A and B are shown apart, each in its own frame.
Chain A
Amino acid sequence: EVQLVESGGGLVQPGRSLRLSCAASGFTFDDFAMHWVRQAPGKGLEWVSGISWNSGTIDYADSVKGRFTISRDNAKNSLYLQMNSLRVEDTALYFCTKELGYCASTTCYGFDYWGRGTLVTVSS
């Protein structure tokens, strides 16, 4: 059974940093691209960042470029999101998601498995 379990969320002041983690199991992690998608309270989905299976291709939304860094450790079946210079508008539930099929870049089909999310609240 595929499982994606996010951790690392919490309450943080504006300007500070936070590192999210996603532990993956139930599939061959290093075969698939992975992504972070967020959802602000009561709002829609916003893609944040994606990383190819071998970390060769990395992509960011304009809203986080230069502040967030995605990475993965295939030996540990883990995905990460380092979030620096956090803003109030970064407050959201952050989902870890898996690309459906093999993809040389970051997205070729869509996201077939999602974690339950970890909540990040940026507030003074």
Chain B
Amino acid sequence: DIQMTQFPSTLSASVGDRVTITCRASQDISSWLAWYQQKAGKAPRLLMYKASNLQSGVPSRFSGSGSGTEFTLTISSLQPDDFATYYCQQYNSHVTFGQGTRLEIK
């Protein structure tokens, strides 16, 4: 099975900061990767699909890049609404989620 490793596990940042979350696959998954945001007590929200495609309605401050085994999610200028937990998901072979990155206020 394909393992997905996210880092950091926790990220402390301030409003206005540029932040990057990394996701590494245990084997080549091409661009078959999605990113989700989840707030406490809520269902996840799809942010990006096929590594770099912004889901409809998601602010343009979110961007995704990468292919193969290394992927990143970048938030260009953090807003108060962005403090949440973020998950990557591969769907090249079955489906696997990363363990999550908690983005907290510094």
Contact = CB atoms under 8 A, between A and B. Distances in A.
Contact of B44 (A45, A100, A107): A45
A66 B72 CA distance: 35
Contact of B36 (A45, A50, A62, A116): A45
A110 B64 CA distance: 14
B97 A45 contact: yes
B49 to A, nearest CB: 4
A62 B95 CA distance: 11
B96 to A, nearest CB: 7
A112 B48 CA distance: 10
A61 B94 contact: yes
A46 B97 contact: yes
Given A44-B97, A47-B94, A109-B34, A115 B89 contact: no
A44 B86 CA distance: 10
B81 interface: no
B95 A50 contact: yes
Q: How large is the interface on A (under 10, 10 to 19, 20 to 34, 35 or more residues)?
A: 20 to 34
Interface in A78-124: 95, 100, 106-112, 114-117
Interface of B: 1, 34, 36, 38, 43-46, 48-50, 55, 87, 89, 91, 94-100
Interface of A: 35, 37, 44-47, 50, 59, 61-62, 95, 100, 106-112, 114-117
15 contacts: A44-B87, A44-B98, A44-B100, A47-B96, A61-B95, A95-B43, A108-B91, A109-B49, A109-B50, A110-B36, A110-B49, A110-B55, A111-B46, A112-B55, A116-B43
